[in-house]
Amino acid sequence: GIPAARPRPLAQRRQSRQIMVGNVPVGGDAPVSVQSMTTTVTSDINSTLQQIAELTASGCQIVRVAVPSADDAEALPIIAKKSQIPVIADIHFQPKYVFAAIDAGCAAVRVNPGNIRKFDDRVGEIAKAASDAGVPIRIGVNAGSLDKRLLEKHGKATPEALVESALWECSLFEEHGFRDIKISVKHNDPVVMINAYRLLAEKCDYPLHLGVTEAGPAFQGTVKSAAAFGALLAEGIGDTIRVSLSAPPAEEVKVGNQILESMGLRERGLEIVSCPSCGRAQVDVYKLADEVTAGLEGMEVPLRVAVMGCVVNGPGEARDADLGVASGNGKGQIFVKGEVVKTVPESQIVETLIDEAQRIAEEMEADGAEP
């Protein structure tokens, strides 16, 4: 048939430098990526990996984990190794956890050097370690934790105050020649947030991480984030997004992806997602994922297919996938939208998935879904 007219493009993308968060490029001409943050206690490795599996299955591309304690820092090597998507360590004050996160193989660290300088001035050492390891840093300014000095100067967390704070934090790294940075300036009011990012976009060429803080429960948070991100993305501003909701993080990812799809910034094709595997895995998840990927190669339908390591949690974690398999005891449970539809011997997993994928693709076409 006649191809549908492409929608009018949004404003030209702001020119930003590109950084690499693990294997995900952020900034420059890279597609806008979706990220989220785990809500588990990071040191509870199995729960954290399970939640990362769920996020990955929902289409999350980068995940952040909080590192408030030494136990959490100690869990980072396994989490970074087993996660299928790049892991960012979120650290507030302790330089030693920053070094631990870099050594652990985390893809990036979120830390504000202003805090580090206040407690233990090791910003130069952090810049060196991060630069040697090729690990970028996110500087995250939040209205709620704005520097006292800037609060006094500006009266409250205005866009100017947020931007001044962010650029000052950047300068602490720039003094050491470090520029592998992305920035967020979050506020709970979308109007303040939009203006802060507009101002920041003019004043630097760092890639920007969009977020509305304390956006609230699912409905309100979804609307606030869609309004704020929509306005900025339409102006070509924003390189990675995180929707914050008082709801399970997989919901954040769904909303984030939907916003990008709505803005025409994301075309869905076939996507294979697999769990990072944890203590419950009963199969070599990586090998199975490779086989499934090879088996489905060439299909051009917008399907998300999940490969999960165990039958206990796999289908539930991959609820947002269209189709998937969870393995255990030499069998594969085939599930559609989180419901198990059949169980087959391990040797038949790949062919069954192909059949099911074709069936779902035909159904989609019959429903008049866009190709």
| Residue list for the binding site for [4Fe-4S] cluster | 275, 278, 310, 317
Contact positions with ligand SF4 (CB under 6 A) in 144-183: none
The answer to whether residue 272 forms part of the interface with ligand SF4 (CB under 6 A) is: no
Residue 273 in contact with ligand SF4, rule: CB under 6 A: no
Q: Is 308 in the site for ligand SF4 (CB under 6 A)?
A: yes
Query: 150 or 321: whose CB is closer to ligand SF4?
Result: 321
Residue range at the interface with ligand SF4 (CB under 6 A); choices 11-19, 20-28, 170-178, 307-315? 307-315
Shortest Å distance, C-beta 242 to ligand SF4: 22
333 binds ligand SF4 (CB under 6 A): no
Task: Give the nearer residue to ligand SF4 in terms of CB position, either 207 or 315.
Answer: 315
* Residues in region 74-133 near ligand SF4 by CB under 6 A: none
Q: How far is the CB of 204 from ligand SF4 (least distance, A)?
A: 38
**Cβ distance to ligand SF4 smaller for residue 258 or 293:** 293
Residue nearest to ligand SF4 (CB): 309
Residue 50 binds ligand SF4 (CB under 6 A):
yes
- What's the min distance (Å) between Cβ of 57 and ligand SF4? 9
**Structure token pair of residue 62:** 């980068």
Q: Does 207 bind ligand SF4 (CB under 6 A)?
A: no
Is residue 49 within the footprint of ligand SF4 (CB under 6 A)? yes
Nearest to 80 by CA among 108, 117, 59: 108
CB of 121 to ligand SF4, least distance (A): 40
- Interaction of residue 327 with ligand SF4, rule CB under 6 A: no
- Please give the residues from 276 up to 295 whose contact with ligand SF4 meets the rule CB under 6 A: 276-278, 280-281
By CB under 6 A, tell whether 317 contacts ligand SF4. yes
Task: Give the interface with ligand SF4 as residue ranges (CB under 6 A).
Answer: 49-50, 53, 275-278, 280-281, 308-310, 313-314, 317
